[in-house]
Amino acid sequence: MTETDLPFSPAAERNQQPILDALRQVLPERGSALEVASGTGQHAVFLATGLPHWRWQPTDQDPAMLPVIAARRAACGLPNLRAPLRLDVRADVWPVEGPAFAEPFDAVFCANMLHIAPWEACGALMRGAARHLTPAGILITYGPYFEEGVAPSEGNRRFDASLRDTNPAWGLRRLQAVENQAALAGLALHSRVPMPANNLLLVWARTA
């Protein structure tokens, strides 16, 4: 499998630089990060390149994506990018296969998963992040949300409708509902960073 043959996400290509710029503002200079739902692995390569002092662990729920991520990892040869692992946020043990993570992470990063997964994945992500973060670690989520008191963009309304047509269990999540799930896991919204194309980068930290 050559790099030109690999699945490619135009959306990941478009948003990777704004995400990296935002991460540089919210992350310390070095640490270890767990990426949930790495998909094609484009973000993993780009972010590990842009954050050279961060050890980056990509994962995905779909076994078919692991060789895709592995091929991109082999092509870039980054020493701080680890081999991909299979992880389903709904599982009691992370990752699904192999030994459980032995060391906590300074950050958990999850982009564009909550709206293309069943709602129970939201609470599972929050609980899993709380289990695997260091005491001062943060969960970072990226994607579109509906917010109370904020008129949704026409693009987000259309996107939500198309997702629900594809799968009734999918759709843009209401930020207040996501906050409620985070609170049950002992996490709270620490910062909200507006991003291009009506997306948000949200930083979640442990409650006092």
- Write the pLDDT tens digit of every residue in 5-57: 899 999 899 999 999 999 999 999 999 999 999 999 999 999 999 999 999 99
Q: 95 is in which domain, residue-wise?
A: 13-34+42-55+89-206
What pTM was computed for the model?
Answer: 0.96
Rounded CA separation 13/143 (Å): 14
pLDDT at 2 over 80: no
Q: Does 63 map to a domain? A: no
The encoded tokens of residue 91 equal: 């599982």
The answer to whether residue 64 is domain-embedded is no
The answer to whether the bond into 104 is cis (omega within 30° of 0) is no
- pLDDT confidence band for 208 (50 / 70 / 90): confident
4 assigned to some structural domain? no
Instruction: Find out whether 206 and 133 touch, Cβ atoms under 8 Å.
Output: yes
State pLDDT tens for residues 113-135: 999 999 999 999 999 999 999 99
Question: Is there a domain that residue 93 lies in?
Answer: yes
Q: What is the CATH number of the domain that holds 137?
A: 3.40.50.150
User: Has residue 60 been placed in a domain?
Assistant: no
In sign, the C-alpha dihedral spanning 187, 21, 155, 9 is negative
Domain-embedded: residue 125: yes
pLDDT digits (tens, 9 = 90+) for 164-184: 999 999 999 999 999 999 999
Report the domain count for the chain.
Answer: 1
Considering the domain boundaries, does residue 154 fall inside one?
Answer: yes
Residue at 46 is within a domain: yes
